[in-house]
Chain A
């Protein structure tokens, strides 16, 4: 790796030394993994971009386990690391789903540093990932530097039951809204061009309410709403060291992730209401195959029971946002055997859209509304699992494609109600 600047511990460096690549690493109590991540970055840069000037930038969110020191130690004698100031800790009271308080500020610091260094490409990685390889650096950066892409988002290989919130709501709705088939728009890693990072920094997202949880998604929608070339890099499996013991309860997860998605709608109306259909994004990287995924066990009967309990307890709340016909359709799901439990795709799409409208109009407190979506989401998940269990990955893909088509088909339903809100619940 070519070092282009003097040793520095803060990102207040002037524009004196421009670089081709900035790799930003965000960390929060990742001492166990950050060393390996920055080492993989170093090796990736040396192996694939030996002729390019590059810098590694660390944005630590206030670790108490010495993560920054581990990162420095890992590169000692081979390269220097530039650190952006630790963000204030004010939003640690509410832990975001990506378990990194102050992430928006950390990201902004990295992007601002990349801009100040005139970087042609900027990559962001999470220091807690155990599976980062030097090849990731290549797959993320190369489309930007060589093929002129503005955003390269990762596509991680997941078990069919994993990332269900993304599969069931985020991806289909994001795709229908913005017309871009970005499979995993809320992952924390990405690469972007200098043009896009300038756009990101100009966006009015950084200080918005909920930025602590929504920033990943909002940057993706920002890129999808603009005139930017978007690619997707298959990076294999993503394992995070903290996931096992720091997973949030589902209600909080739904509140943060779906709340971020819904909150963004208001700010990009001019874009998503004018977008019709969707387009695929350019794939990069290598899609791994075989049975390398860890098995995941989910009992759909328990999900169905949770839904039925939710129906009994929350139906009165649902009637604030869902039309009578939908309530009757949901009532039909109360009976019958689990093996034939099916939540129709169109029904699910309109339910999600009606919740988005209810969120916009604040028909009840937003957090209550979002938490009441959980049993409905579990109903969708149960239906999905009942349909795809024992099926191959290709079948699962086709099933998701049908779901996305339903979200796209029902988009006029959302638009017509959005434009004339008195039609909510009709």
Chain B
């Protein structure tokens, strides 16, 4: 039996460095122009060398692919473009052999309208169990307090189905009907889906769109108590079937609302910290730590076994739902002057273009990602500074093929270039001819090598994954200083958010007698005394100091 990598360390997800990838975009093993599991298996050595130890795979299930696979037509199989279940098993074994965990998507809220459950439901008589797998209504007037999320493409959360002769409820696209968790049979089926993948050996599930599971009149239909009842039942079920499997909640809400998804440590193990991401970008552009400190201070304490999932960019737009209108306007002016870069309420760009391809800024943001309390998630391609294509529609511009070499199709696929699922980035700055893994593997100073080192350092210091966070007061608001502490370990992080050299004086008196060791270069700094500790930081500089006691 294959090694089940989650069985050894109960808190593995707190120590992990997660790598998010769409199977279709990573590597094409059968030359049909679409990435697949055989191709992914070929690239596991690369991922192991990068140092990531958890892979989060975007949906790879049978689907009409009208929402990049989040419209699932069969939960227990593989989309034929990506391979077979046997291919998936081989991938899982190969990942586990490399001591990598594997997290897959579990879209709880809705299915594709092509799913058997929906096709059966629309034909079934009203009131039957089959019909009630989804939420139906004779009018489109119910739940009017629920907002429309995809404002660019949907006008209502209700769509008329002529076959059923009724409206069905959907919080996302109209071709994604919401499942009805008031029907116990739905949860029963979802638990069977979970068992299927657990028995194959997956280590965790990313629970997509969890705030929307249940609908109640007179509410926003988000974050309702009955939704948490469903999630607790799922958690209990998973715990009963083996140790150390992880649930990651996607709840694009303010931290205070997300807190509920951890329960008392009996709901989800992890949840994304959505509002942090835009505020990091804002703090950088403003050259002011305030937006970052403010959101972290608003972040509630979570149970000890739980963890925030942190990211700079992902497969979706840089979402700006959880900022004020004024902040959103600022972000659009700062980061998406080109309206083509905007979608819904956010910005559809990768990290490097957002940073103007400024290496120092990219490194600074990654240093924050890897030293803030939470588990960092690296989006595929961002480790080499890949670019995007805002003209591809929807969010496809940040889902282009991985750039492996300067060969044809960036060695992503041997297919005819016209057959690729997406054009490869070919512009003069981010084009695959110059920006690719092979080139950066050879270049000791490349972003890829730098990321490898940073990931190694992150794994070296458990305090970064497990420790507490404490901001340090300093007069200069362009400088962000904070302590990560765990038992006797302490890491001091100092970051200059500005483009110019900055001085800073820190009150480190509680650490008098300690010596700061700069962890990247293992350089010993002067011993800390009772007086304020003075540092100078170059443009976008950051330091991590291990505070070592000198006896």
Contacts and interface: CB of A to CB of B under 8 A. Distances in A.
B445 interface: yes
Contacts of B453: 419-421
Interface in B506-531: 519-524
Given A420-B520, A422-B449, A269 B456 contact: yes
B1 interface: no
Interface in B435-469: 444-445, 449, 453, 456-457, 459-460, 462
Contact of A416 (B445, B460, B462, B521): B521
B456 A419 contact: yes
A409 B276 CA distance: 42
Nearest to B459: A270
Nearest to B518: A416
Nearest to B517: A412
B460 A269 contact: yes
B460 A420 contact: no
Q: Which of B449, B456, B457, B520 has the most CB of A within 10 A?
A: B456
A412 B457 CA distance: 15
A420 B460 CA distance: 13
B548 interface: yes
Contacts of A419: 453, 456-457, 460, 519-522
B548 A276 contact: yes
A276 B550 CA distance: 11
Task: Tell me the interface secondary structure of chain B in the complex.
Answer: mixed
B519 A421 contact: no
Given A269-B456, A276-B548, A412-B522, A422 B462 contact: no
A276 B521 CA distance: 16
A3 B519 CA distance: 56
A91 to B, nearest CB: 19
A133 interface: no
A412 B462 CA distance: 20
Contacts of A416: 521-523
Contacts of A421: 444, 449, 453
Nearest to A422: B444
A343 interface: no
A415 B548 CA distance: 15
B94 to A, nearest CB: 16
A365 B457 CA distance: 26
Interface residues of B, number: 16
Contacts of A135: none
Given A416-B522, A422-B449, A273 B460 contact: yes
B454 to A, nearest CB: 10
A418 to B, nearest CB: 8
B132 to A, nearest CB: 49
A416 B519 CA distance: 8
A274 to B, nearest CB: 8
Contacts of A412: 522, 524
Contacts of B462: 270
A274 B460 CA distance: 9
A421 B49 CA distance: 13
A415 B522 CA distance: 7
Nearest to A420: B453
Interface in A410-426: 412, 415-416, 419-422
A270 B444 CA distance: 23
Nearest to A413: B522
A419 B524 CA distance: 15
B522 A270 contact: no
Contacts of B521: 416, 419-420
Contacts of B520: 419-420
A379 to B, nearest CB: 28
Contacts of B548: 276
Contacts of A276: 548
A361 to B, nearest CB: 10
A274 B520 CA distance: 14
A424 B522 CA distance: 15
Interface in A134-193: none
Contacts of B444: 421-422
A416 B520 CA distance: 7
Nearest to A425: B444
A421 B443 CA distance: 11
Contacts of A270: 459-460, 462
Contacts of B449: 421-422
A87 B522 CA distance: 45
B522 A422 contact: no
A421 B452 CA distance: 10
B152 to A, nearest CB: 44
A273 B445 CA distance: 23
Interface centre among B459, B460, B462, B520 (most CB of A within 10 A): B460
Interface string A306-328: 00000000000000000000000
Nearest to B446: A422
Interface string A110-125: 0000000000000000
A225 to B, nearest CB: 14
A419 B460 CA distance: 10
Interface string A52-88: 0000000000000000000000000000000000000
A336 to B, nearest CB: 35
Contacts of A269: 456, 459-460
Interface string A268-294: 011001101000000000000000000
A177 to B, nearest CB: 14
B441 to A, nearest CB: 11
Contacts of A273: 460
Contacts of B524: 412
A416 B462 CA distance: 19
Interface string B533-551: 0000000000000001000
A412 B519 CA distance: 11
Contacts of A422: 444-445, 449
**Interface centre among B444, B449, B521, B522, by most A CB within 10 Å?**
B522
A415 B520 CA distance: 9
A416 B524 CA distance: 11
A84 to B, nearest CB: 23
Nearest to B444: A422
Nearest to A204: B99
A271 to B, nearest CB: 10
Nearest to B519: A419
A75 B233 CA distance: 61
A219 to B, nearest CB: 19
A270 B456 CA distance: 10
Contacts of B460: 269-270, 273-274, 419
With a 10 A CB-CB cut-off, give which of A270, A419, A421 has the most chain B CB atoms: A419
A420 B548 CA distance: 20
Interface string A389-422: 0000000000000000000000010011001111
11 contacts: A269-B460, A270-B460, A273-B460, A412-B522, A415-B522, A416-B522, A419-B520, A420-B520, A421-B444, A421-B449, A422-B444
Interface of A: 269-270, 273-274, 276, 412, 415-416, 419-422
Interface of B: 444-445, 449, 453, 456-457, 459-460, 462, 519-524, 548
The 6 closest A-B pairs by CB, nearest first: A422-B444, A416-B522, A415-B522, A412-B522, A416-B521, A420-B453
Given A270-B459, A273-B460, 19 more contacts: A269-B459, A269-B460, A415-B522, A416-B521, A416-B522, A416-B523, A419-B456, A419-B457, A419-B519, A419-B520, A419-B521, A419-B522, A420-B453, A420-B520, A420-B521, A421-B444, A421-B449, A421-B453, A422-B449
